[in-house]
Amino acid sequence: MRRLSKESKDTNNKNYKIIAVDDEIGIIDSLSIFLKHSGYTLVGCTNPYEAIEKVKNEHYDLMLLDYMMSPIHGDTVVEEIRKFNKELYIILLTGHKDLVPPLQTIKKLSIQAYCEKEDKFDQLLLLIESAFKSIDQVKLIRDMNDELRKSNEKLEKAYLETIEILRYTVEAKDSYTRGHSDRVSAYSVLIGNEMGLYDKDIRTLKVGGLFHDIGKIGIPDTILLKPSKLTPQEYNEIKKHPSIGKQIISNASIFRDIVPIVFSHHERYDGAGYPMGLEGKNIPFLARVVAVADAFDAMTSRRSYRDELDLEYVKNTIIKGRGKQFDPEVTDAFLNILNNKFDKIEEIKNKYP
């Protein structure tokens, strides 16, 4: 392996910014002279409070910090810095090894190394070189992760846009579906919040509601748009849309969490649903939430063969379906919304007419 020349090493060293903090100006001068010979540039500071402000307002890669200082010790300086900067590499300097703070304190404050002060600073130089190797490795890993994240985001964005196009294609084919997915998504979020679900589940309900009917892209228009009652054979074709939807979205990691919603939102609590005939708590919980939202919107939307149903009739239907078609707990939460927070339902209906 080709060795770097001293000139090349010195050029690389100038890329790093070092700040030394010690209340003895003689130590700062000695460090500055010593590190200059090794190609490093040093900013010295005898006032620990001033050093904290410098780190807050400027970028430094490494801090050489005296422990026993006045008016505050080095551990207090680190404690203040860690409030706004978790990444600064800190080497603690001590006049004697007996004065080093407890190991527990060093770990707690993320102090990476400590070194005794000495005239030659040989050990310190080794620690500094090791520090910058560590800093470079962390930066390399961070850059690689950033590139990977950007690549994944581009792929996921492209896939999401493709699925969105499919969703809008379905909605363009079927006037009923237009706005339906948005309302089901919003109703599902409303129920999730009413039940106190975690934010992660709320996000999954939002996306799952939007894409729950994506599989209808694979249903023939003659069936999807038929204005009259479907034959048993045609209804069997409609019942394929959860499986088709699952196939469409299963290839993208960003949709992993919503697959159970897309696949199982037509399962019934009593086991009489489709496509798997799952029963009770064997049905994925978030799919049980979307099932209630989906049924409510179906009943309260105008169809080609009927107007939207009366609200009291809808409520009674949901009550009768408790424990049969719908999960009892989800049903109770939604009924509470209908009875006490109906203004939120109206907001959603007005937003997505």
SS3 21: strand
**Same structural domain for residues 62 and 166?**
no
Q: How far apart are CA 85 and CA 76, in angstroms?
A: 14
In the listed set 114, 139, 164, which residue is the last one of a domain according to the structure?
A: 139
Does a structural domain hold residue 161? yes
List C-alpha distances in Å: 277 to 62, 283, 284.
62, 9, 12
**Same structural domain for residues 124 and 159?**
no
Q: How far apart are CA 317 and CA 324, in angstroms?
A: 11
What pLDDT is attached to residue 13? 54
Does a structural domain hold residue 146? no
Which alpha helices (DSSP H) does the chain contain, by range? Answer: 6-13, 25-37, 48-57, 74-81, 103-108, 122-173, 180-194, 199-211, 221-224, 232-238, 241-249, 259-264, 285-299, 311-320, 328-340, 342-351
Q: Residue 290: which of 170, 347, 206 has the closest Cα?
A: 206
270, 279 in Cβ contact below 8 A?
yes
Q: Which amino acid is at 202?
A: I
pLDDT in tens, the chain (353 residues): 334 444 444 445 557 899 999 988 988 988 888 888 888 888 999 999 999 999 999 999 999 988 888 899 888 898 899 899 888 898 888 876 666 666 666 777 778 887 777 666 778 888 888 888 888 888 887 888 888 778 877 877 776 777 677 777 766 766 666 688 899 999 999 999 999 999 999 999 998 998 899 888 888 878 877 777 888 898 999 999 999 999 888 877 778 899 999 999 999 999 999 999 999 999 999 999 999 999 999 999 876 656 778 899 999 999 999 999 999 999 999 999 999 999 999 999 999 88
Does a structural domain hold residue 1? no
What pLDDT is attached to residue 147? 84
What pLDDT is attached to residue 177? 63
What pLDDT is attached to residue 1? 36
Contacts of 104 (CB under 8 A, 6+ apart): none
Residue 121 falls in which region: left (phi positive, over 0), alpha (psi -120 to 50) or beta: left
**Same structural domain for residues 43 and 92?**
yes
Residue 277 falls in which region: left (phi positive, over 0), alpha (psi -120 to 50) or beta: left
Q: Which amino acid is at 203?
A: R
What pLDDT is attached to residue 253? 73
Does a structural domain hold residue 145? no
**Same structural domain for residues 169 and 300?**
yes
pTM of the predicted model, to two decimals? 0.58
**Same structural domain for residues 188 and 211?**
yes
Contacts of 127 (CB under 8 A, 6+ apart): 91, 113, 115
**Dihedral of alpha carbons 290, 296, 301, 306, sign:** positive
Q: How many residues does the chain have?
A: 353
**Same structural domain for residues 189 and 82?**
no
How many domains, the chain?
A: 2
Nearest 5°: phi and psi at 285?
Answer: -60, -45
Does a structural domain hold residue 160? yes
**Same structural domain for residues 124 and 162?**
no
Does a structural domain hold residue 50? yes
184, 209 in Cβ contact below 8 A?
yes
Residue 248 belongs to what domain range? 151-351
**Same structural domain for residues 42 and 172?**
no
Q: How far apart are CA 238 and CA 11, in angstroms?
A: 69
337, 194 in Cβ contact below 8 A?
yes
Q: How far apart are CA 180 and CA 322, in angstroms?
A: 23
**Same structural domain for residues 209 and 310?**
yes
DSSP state, 322? B
In the listed set 139, 168, 193, which residue is the last one of a domain according to the structure?
A: 139
353, 179 in Cβ contact below 8 A?
yes
C-beta neighbour count of 347 within 10 angstroms? 13
Cα 273-279-284 angle, rounded to 5 deg? 90
Q: How far apart are CA 241 and CA 214, in angstroms?
A: 8
**Dihedral of alpha carbons 22, 27, 33, 37, sign:** negative
Does a structural domain hold residue 45? yes
What strands, in cross-sheet order, belong to the sheet with 113-116? 42-45, 18-21, 62-66, 89-94, 113-116
